[in-house]
């Protein structure tokens, strides 16, 4: 179940997931929603400029000085073979705030952005923490309907913000990616009506399948619902909040872009595009407990809760936190389809970022190769300590 994360965000870009009968090979230009069916060459070309083929909102970095990531002691690991085999565009290893490995391929350069897919979920989660800090959200135990009152009277009655964050709402959701009648294939086809959030409208019609808090069920729709809740509580779009709370404080080197849904709202579960180093700075933000510019942007205990197991996923030694995937040894991460990853190891004080264009959106062999590469990085870091 852990690796469902690698499929989740694709659904935000595809209208229906049953394989369509295209009259011609789909391309980003003739079918921007058909990312599952683009050629590998098209994905490599477009993943670094997604904001040019579909609507996005800018995430402005502001005037804060760029956080330096000085070079550290290079690790004795050549990632070339892994990068070539897995279509990896960027590898970054940071330890103690210093770069120990950085490599680019597939036309990606240091200043180029790359789409994150479901890595965005962990940013959305952090915005919940900032909304607690600001007081816009009173408590994780508040009912979701306090902030999204149009959900009242349906499956979300009695569901808390915490349960929404951990995907334990108990609301029925079908995440069958190849069933055109599934919720995940349909919810982003909800018509956008004036004054209405189409995602909230769709989710509000879903019935309850289990008591809140009793069962984990991966639900892409709920991550978008988290985004709608934040925007409603704060009275601001997510891209503006991400700029104010994180991007303008973390010393980012470039503006980012956030993809918009059919209602013109940022998709809480998908598709912030940013540079390799800026994704590294996101990992550092989590590693450093939300401290940005000398101030913690979230409650003091936020990351202590967010990056540890809050729900069992059915996989040994793994769990789900507040939109972060957790491991029992303390490692946690944000992950997206086609091989995107921000992996944080508090014990080693390392952040590993991978930006990729796997030949397939998901695949057991690709996952195994990535895990093997992570182990190689860990071994290299351990073998070559920084002075």
pLDDT at 25: 64
| Averaged pLDDT for residues 274-292 | 97
Provide the residue ranges of all domains of the chain, joining segments of one domain with +: 2-383
The 10s digit of each residue's pLDDT in 73-119 is: 999 999 999 999 999 999 999 999 999 999 999 999 999 999 999 99
d(CA 264, CA 60): 18
Q: Is the pLDDT of residue 8 over 80?
A: no
d(CA 203, CA 198): 9
The 10s digit of each residue's pLDDT in 42-56 is: 888 889 999 988 899
Q: Look up residue 71 and give its DSSP letter.
A: B
The 10s digit of each residue's pLDDT in 201-241 is: 999 999 999 999 999 998 888 999 999 999 999 999 999 99
Homologous superfamily in CATH for domain 2-383: DD-peptidase/beta-lactamase superfamily (3.40.710.10)
Place of tokens 């019935």: 207
Residues in the chain: 387
| Averaged pLDDT for residues 337-357 | 96
**Contacts by 109-112, CB closer than 8 A, 24 or more apart:** 110/275, 110/276, 110/277, 111/253, 111/254, 111/275, 112/48, 112/275
């Amino acid at each position: 179940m852990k690796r469902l994360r690698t499929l989740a965000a694709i659904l935000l870009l595809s209208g229906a997931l049953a394989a369509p009968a295209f009259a011609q090979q789909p391309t980003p230009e003739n079918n921007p929603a058909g990312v599952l069916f683009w050629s590998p060459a098209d994905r490599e070309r477009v993943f670094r400029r997604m904001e040019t083929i579909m609507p996005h909102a800018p995430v402005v970095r502001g005037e804060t000085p760029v956080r330096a990531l000085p070079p550290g002691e290079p690790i004795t690991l050549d990632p070339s073979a892994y990068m070539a085999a897995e279509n990896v565009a960027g590898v970054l290893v940071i330890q103690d705030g210093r770069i120990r490995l950085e490599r680019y391929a597939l036309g990606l350069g240091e200043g180029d952005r790359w789409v994150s897919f479901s890595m965005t979920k962990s940013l959305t989660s952090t915005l919940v923490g900032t909304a607690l800090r600001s007081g816009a959200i009173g408590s994780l135990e508040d009912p979701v309907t306090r902030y999204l009152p149009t959900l009242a009277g349906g499956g979300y009655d009695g569901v808390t913000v915490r349960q929404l964050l951990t995907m334990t709402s108990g609301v029925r959701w079908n995440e069958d990616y190849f069933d055109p009648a599934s919720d995940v294939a349909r919810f982003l086809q909800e018509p956008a009506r004036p004054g209405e959030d189409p995602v909230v409208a769709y989710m509000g019609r879903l019935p309850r399948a289990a008591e809140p808090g009793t069962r984990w069920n991966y639900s892409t729709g709920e991550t978008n619902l988290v985004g709608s809740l934040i925007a409603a509580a704060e009275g601001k779009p997510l891209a503006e909040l991400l700029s104010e709370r994180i991007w303008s404080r973390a010393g980012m080197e470039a503006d980012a872009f956030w993809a918009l849904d059919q209602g013109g709202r940022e998709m809480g579960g998908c598709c912030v595009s940013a540079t390799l180093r800026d994704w590294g700075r996101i990992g550092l933000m989590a590693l450093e407990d939300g401290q940005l510019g000398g101030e913690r942007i979230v409650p003091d205990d936020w990351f202590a809760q967010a990056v540890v197991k809050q729900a069992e996923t059915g996989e040994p030694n793994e769990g789900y936190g507040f939109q972060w995937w957790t491991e029992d040894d303390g490692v946690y991460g944000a992950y997206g389809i086609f091989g995107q990853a921000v992996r944080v190891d508090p014990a080693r004080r390392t952040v590993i970022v991978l930006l990729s264009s796997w030949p397939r959106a998901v695949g057991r062999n690709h996952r195994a190769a990535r895990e093997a590469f992570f182990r190689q990085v860990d071994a290299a870091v351990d073998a070559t300590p920084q002075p």
